[in-house]
Amino acid sequence: MNLARSAGALRTGVYLTPRILGASCKSINLTHGVRLFHANKICRDSYEEEKATLDEIHKLMKPQDFQVADKIRNIGISAHIDSGKTTFTERVLYYTGRIKAIHEVRGRDNVGAKMDHMDLEREKGITIQSAATFCSWDKDNKNYHFNLIDTPGHIDFTIEVERALRVLDGAVLVVCAVSGVQSQTVTVDRQMRRYNIPRITFINKMDRMGANPFRAVDQIHSKLKIPAAVLQVPIGLESDLEGVVDIINRVALYNKGEHGEELVPGPVPENLKDVVEERRQILVETLADVDDEMAELFLEEQEPNVDQIKAAIRRATIARKFSPVLMGSALANTGIQPVLDAVVDYLPNPSQVLNTALDVANNEAKVNLVPSVTKPFLGLAFKLEEGQYGQLTYIRVYQGRLRKGTYITNVKSGKKIKVSRLVRMHSNDMEDVDEVGSGEICATFGIDCASGDTFCDGSVQYSMSSMYVPDAVVSLSVTPNSKDAGNFSKALNRFQKEDPTFRVKFDPESKQTIVSGMGELHLEIYVERMRREYNVECTTGKPQVSYRESVTIPAEFDYTHKKQSGGAGQYGRVIGTLAPAPEGNSNSNSFETAIVGGRIPDKYLAACGKGFDEACEKGPLIGHRVLGVDMLINDGAIHAVDSNELSFKTATMAAFRDSFLKAQPVILEPIMVVTVTSPNEFQGNVIGTLNKLQAMIQDTENGQDEFTMKAECPLSNMFGYATSLRASTQGKGEFTLEFSHYAPTAPNVQRDLIAEFQKRQQQQQQQKK
């Protein structure tokens, strides 16, 4: 093997596998490449297992199942805020013939982008709800069917990204050519990994000043830890962007016509020939690192042909070991059609993705789903919307087929429901269909269900695993101004059903309705939607932080609950220890028993567990949930007559409270990762505002025109930060917040919170008197 070539591969950020270096995993000692190599190995092992299972599933499929699946692509468009997802989707719909004209995202022409159909989305220029559509794309005289979901970029609407990725087979990750990999790009990457989603990367905004696609690729390597290589080289940059060069086929591609609808090939410009060959070599070397067949060619120093390169990219992308990178500008109508070709060429069809369910009738045994119309129907309701004809339920069909007029069963409730109408969604428009097959996404009306419910045809009882739902971090009190509580209740019930991260509870002490969500913007949008959609004007209280309570040292308890009220009384004694959870389990609570000789019967121990769960819901310090606590009951006593479940539940709750207060309790507050992006001249101002908020600056990245600063800050200090940031950066700065972890509050803050809680308790007691 040519050592100069291998050194070149390492220099360009490509990490070689042991197979190429002729070493075992343990003997590798490359400080530059170890971390990524290990990540690749884990990914490789996990996919190899999936591939073996998929090969077995394919034996159960018929030839027509493969023909149908081969023409379907289920893809999502994901990115950081303002990277151009919706603009990109608008061009995709135009080039595939789904819409007849291109409109602006902000809706200044009174139409707005097709996928942002809510008035709020058009006014604010952001995507709030993920929108589904379908379109067709012709390639090599074959017609391919795309089910496409445009997802929000803002962290407050992260559940929309979660639910979309849960049901998709691939994704297009949009990255800004100027800003590169940003905070939300990293979050989206983490979500894609959670659901094993292969991705194509599209570097957008190549026509903007400061665009640098190769820096963005380096950031994909360093920040996202996934091997990536460009498939294109730009012809010109910034305002001089003319088109792109396809380095695999060595052909230049220019977008002509009023909206770039005509793709015109041409020869590679002379000044780019060396760059094209260099980038082609880097592509081959990167593929050799992640694909065995390409590694063989590389070792034999053979020049791979176009088909071999494309096949290697497809294998490595589907195996989640590699991301092909394309580039262009959605706003300038440049480079979109090659992305659609890449979706067909490199992203998996439904038969190439492993989907599993749990057999409820067989102790929740894992079942591998077969994307065949001959198998029993199985579908997942992944999104709900209130439409003009009632609740609209989006369903991804994983197995079998769904026909209009047939009956389906909700696995959770056991209810049989008739499918009276079946539609394919095109943003807020719909197209009626009679039947939907495996791998498709559709919607139906008149089904009463919750987000995440599984439906089957009744012959099997399979349930799909649910999606990840993060905890709410901000709460608001909401009070309707009018006395018409009917619409207020309707709105809250609907929003709760649609969005699992939006939670509502009634506080009996303050007599207030408390709504909780992912951030200030999240709750602000829902309050605004209540006003617009339900004519309910609301008064909101000051945002409240979702604190948690915990302990720092172990404390023993020996509590006896006695109550005599004439006749049979209550008696229960519990002895044990309350301790902080071990490191690594600090985000959950655990209850254990170690009773010897039946000192407490099992039925009473179950009641003790219920008492523990109830006590954790409302901590003794300030009434917030308890986190990171382990309770062990190892002894106790019963009374032959007076002991019952209630006695032991009460004894456990009282023992919990007493020992909690002895175990040096602390109040935990949510710590957020705040990422601020602003022009360079305001860097001092931004540091000043963050220091005032007691933020700990973790990292600063200076670009040509702007900088990005990452810091950790308590959520309680972040309220109103948007206003102060605008003031200190002349309105040019922007920031994102993402929950990181819980950490103990400062002692003075803890004292103030406890004093405030006690004062509130006293006031409520006086009001009761």
Return the structure tokens found at 75. Answer: 């893809």
> For 511, what's the count of Cα atoms within 13 Å in the CB-facing half-sphere?
3
117 is in an annotated binding site: no
d(C-alpha 398, C-alpha 367), whole Å: 12
637-657 CB burial, b ≥16 within 10 A, e <16? ebeeebbbbebbbbbbbbbbb
Contact 203, 216 (CB under 8 A): yes
283 contacts: CB under 8 Å, gap ≥ 6: 229, 230, 231, 247, 248, 309
Q: Report the chain's C-alpha Rg in angstroms.
A: 29
DSSP string, 405-430: T-EEEETTT--EEE---EEEEETTEE
82 is in an annotated binding site: yes
304 is in an annotated binding site: no
Give the strands of the sheet with 555-563, arranged side by side.
555-563, 570-580, 629-637, 590-593
Q: Which residues pair with 558 in a beta bridge?
A: 575
204 is in an annotated binding site: yes
38 is in an annotated binding site: no
Task: Using alpha carbons only, give the angle 7, 202, 440 rounded to the nearest 5 degrees.
Answer: 120
- Phi/psi at 601 (nearest 5 deg)? -65, 155
429 is in an annotated binding site: no
- 443 closest CA partner among 410, 411, 465, 420: 420
Q: Which residues pair with 513 in a beta bridge?
A: 478, 506
Return the structure tokens found at 173. Answer: 């990750």
109 is in an annotated binding site: no
**Number of helices and strands (H, E) in the chain?**
20, 38
Contact 160, 152 (CB under 8 A): yes
400 is in an annotated binding site: no
DSSP string, 167-195: H-SEEEEEEETTTBS-HHHHHHHHHHHHT
703 is in an annotated binding site: no
153 is in an annotated binding site: yes
467 is in an annotated binding site: no
- 181 closest CA partner among 519, 741, 677: 677
DSSP classification of residue 241: -
Give the strands of the sheet with 170-176, arranged side by side.
131-139, 142-150, 72-79, 170-176, 199-204, 323-327, 228-230
In order of 116, 149, 194, 355, the CA distances from 152 in angstroms are 10, 10, 18, 25
Contact 604, 643 (CB under 8 A): yes
Return the structure tokens found at 41. Answer: 């190995």
Strand locations in 638-705 (E): 665-679, 696-702
3-state secondary structure of 632: strand
Q: Which residues pair with 737 in a beta bridge?
A: 674
207 is in an annotated binding site: yes
84 is in an annotated binding site: yes
69 is in an annotated binding site: no
83 is in an annotated binding site: yes
205 is in an annotated binding site: yes
d(C-alpha 52, C-alpha 474), whole Å: 45
518 is in an annotated binding site: no
Residue ranges at the known binding site? 79-86, 150-154, 204-207
Residue ranges at the known binding site for GTP? 79-86, 150-154, 204-207
